[in-house]
Amino acid sequence: AVKQLWGDGDHMAEIDDMMAEQEAICGEKAKSVCDLLHDKAVRWQLITLFLICSCMQLIGVNMVYFYAYNVFIKAGIPPAQTHYVSLGVGITEILSTILCVSGSSAELHSAVIHVSFQSLETIDSFSWVPYCSVALIFTFIMSFGIGPAGVLCPFPTEIFIQSYRPAAYVFNGATNWIQLFILGLLFPFIV
């Protein structure tokens, strides 16, 4: 199975690691979220997972998703066309998932340029600014998708042993959605 997945080559070191982990947890059942929270042996992994999940919320892509419609309207896109632009946002996310290479630099640049357009009141000055705003939002989302977005899902697999992985995924998902909910409620007041 390893050869089929990774291709030809010497994969004995990885297979040995898998066998050693299997022997170490032989007969051990999957841990619950309570076990994960109470076990001091995995405390630093749990803190690391929480911090990375929290930092992903601070990147700002979720607020772009939540308030893209309002941004499109403010940028001057006619309300009848914003649904098509929102569809384009979703397609951009799918394309970025397919491409999945480094994109954090492009994400930063597109966010800075977009904020500059919004804050300089250039929207009414030039007819091309609304379309540039849309393109920058697409660039921001694509850059997030091909940059840091791919970290959160496989991360619990990398830092937890097999018996803790299901609980770590539950913790990761719950933390992500709770923070997303809180940030979504607080963002309008922050603005």
pLDDT tens, position by position, for the chain (191 residues)? 878 888 888 888 888 887 887 777 777 788 888 998 999 999 999 999 999 888 888 777 777 777 777 777 777 778 888 778 878 877 877 777 666 654 555 666 666 666 666 655 555 566 666 777 777 777 777 777 777 777 777 888 888 888 888 899 999 989 988 988 888 888 778 77
Locate 46 and state its tokens: 């749990």
Homologous superfamily assigned to 30-189? MFS general substrate transporter like domains (1.20.1250.20)
SS3 letters across the chain = CHHHHHCCCCCHHHHHHHHHHHHHCCCCCCCCHHHHHHCHHHHHHHHHHHHHHHHHHHCCHHHHHHHHHHHHHHHCCCHHHHHHHHHHHHHHHHHHHHHCCCCHHHHHHHHHHHHHHHHCCCCCCCCCHHHHHHHHHHHHHHHHHHCHHHCCCCHHHHHCCHHHHHHHHHHHHHHHHHHHHHHHHHHHHHC
Q: What is the pTM for the complete model shown?
A: 0.62
**Domains of the chain by residue range:** 30-189
The SS3 of residue 79 is helix
